[in-house]
Amino acid sequence: MVLSEPMCGLSNFFRWRDAGNGSPACLVRLVEQPEVDDALRLLLGSGGHRGDDHAARDFVRFAHHRNLDLGSMHVAVSGNKLLASSLAILSPGKTALLMTSTAGTVTAIADAIAGCVQATCDGFNRTQTHLAQLLLEPAEVTTAAAMRRVGFADLATLIYLQRPVIRTFVMPTLPNNTELVTYSEMTHHLFGRAILASYDESLDCPPLHGRREVDDILAGHKSAGEFSPDLWFCLVRDGAPLGVLLLSPSRSHGTMELVYVGLSVAARGQRIGDYFLALALHHAHAQSLGHLTLAVDAANVPALRLYHRHGLAEVHRRDAMLMELA
């Protein structure tokens, strides 16, 4: 067994739908103790195949670190066989990221996954969780179609980029007449203003804009990894924020994640984005982290040009979907 810990009491036990091809009806419910290993491997699989022991052990460590209750997984069962599983990772920013097993091209399995996701969402406290997000492999078109049937909408295709940090990057020179401010309780409001200003005419996941309060946005960014306030930067000119760069180190993986970079409309076209990328590479090297990583909306062509200019290359893609709960 990979994990042995108390499971939640069963709830959301209901008959989802016929699994197709004359097979028994599919039941969706919370996972039971003997099923945890199998459900977890389903969750960590790809292309309809189960995850391996190494992936399961890594995820168990992550679950303990994040205080995730694996007993909150929902499973779809036909007879004595697990067909699908889902798990919610709740964010302080009132957003839930839903992990799911994969279906390949099997519609009945995709519907079983959708049943698990719907049961998971039905269990949320709607005052504490306002948005549910999914990240699917691009090949999971059958699962995406099933998710649309239960209320999810397409958000964006996310491109994940990275580059090695193998040489010294000097601290870049500040743009003229600007000041670089780091995050603190005193500058919290300034960062909020900068982030909201960066959403104006932005090409980065526009369907998200206006759906979250700024404090929830900041809380979500803080929870994206290891929060280090001295690695959150706001560029200011004459008291007005021009843009923000939010970095999160992951020392266990040897990476620096660029969590968010955004500029106000007035700051665009002044190579401030290049300044922020140079700053990110400098701090990644200063912290002895071997890679800089980030994710970007595939439709954000100006941002992609910026990242490619600084040596970041695509490693994979995910299709993001969103459902508003509150």
Whether pLDDT at 155 is above 90: yes
Average pLDDT over residues 11-35: 66
Average pLDDT over residues 89-117: 92
Contact 129, 92 (CB under 8 A): no
Tens of pLDDT, residue by residue over 260-316, are: 999 999 999 999 999 999 999 999 999 999 999 999 999 999 999 999 999 999 999
Average pLDDT over residues 170-199: 97
- What letter would DSSP give residue 23? P
The mean-pLDDT minimum among 120-129, 149-158, 162-171 falls in 120-129
Radius of gyration of the chain (CA): 21
pTM (two decimals) = 0.89
Note the pLDDT of residue 147: 97
Q: Topology of 163-317 in CATH?
A: Aminopeptidase (3.40.630)
| Partner residues linked to 320 by β-bridges | 135, 156
Q: What distance in Å separates the CA atoms of residue 159 and residue 133, rounded to the nearest whole number?
A: 16
* 3-state helix/strand/coil string of 159-204: EEEEEECCCCCCCCCCCCCCEEEECCCCCHHHHHHHHHHHCCCCCC
Does domain 14-151 fall under CATH 3.30.930.10? My reply is no
Q: What distance in Å separates the CA atoms of residue 30 and residue 45, rounded to the nearest whole number?
A: 19
What is the H or E stretch that residue 238 is in? none
Residue-wise DSSP of 148-162: HHTT-EEEEEEEEEE
Count of residues making up the chain: 326
118 against 52, higher pLDDT: 118
Task: Outline which parts of the chain fall under CATH 3.40.630.30.
Answer: 14-151, 163-317
Of all residues in the chain, the percent with pLDDT exceeding 90 is 73
Q: What distance in Å separates the CA atoms of residue 75 and residue 117, rounded to the nearest whole number?
A: 9
Give the E-state strand segments of the chain in sequence order. 14-18, 25-30, 74-78, 81-90, 95-100, 131-136, 153-164, 179-182, 232-237, 240-250, 255-263, 291-297, 313-324
Task: Label the pairing between strands 255-263 and 291-297.
Answer: parallel
Tens of pLDDT, residue by residue over 106-128, are: 999 999 999 999 999 998 987 88
Q: Is residue 218 classed as helix, strand or coil in its secondary structure?
A: helix
pLDDT band at residue 15 using 50, 70 and 90 as cut-offs = low
Tens of pLDDT, residue by residue over 214-259, are: 999 999 999 988 999 999 999 999 999 999 999 999 988 899 999 9
Chain centroid offset of residue 37 CA: 24
Q: What distance in Å separates the CA atoms of residue 102 and residue 136, rounded to the nearest whole number?
A: 8
Mean residue pLDDT of the chain comes to 90
Note the pLDDT of residue 2: 37
Tens of pLDDT, residue by residue over 198-219, are: 999 998 898 888 889 999 999 9
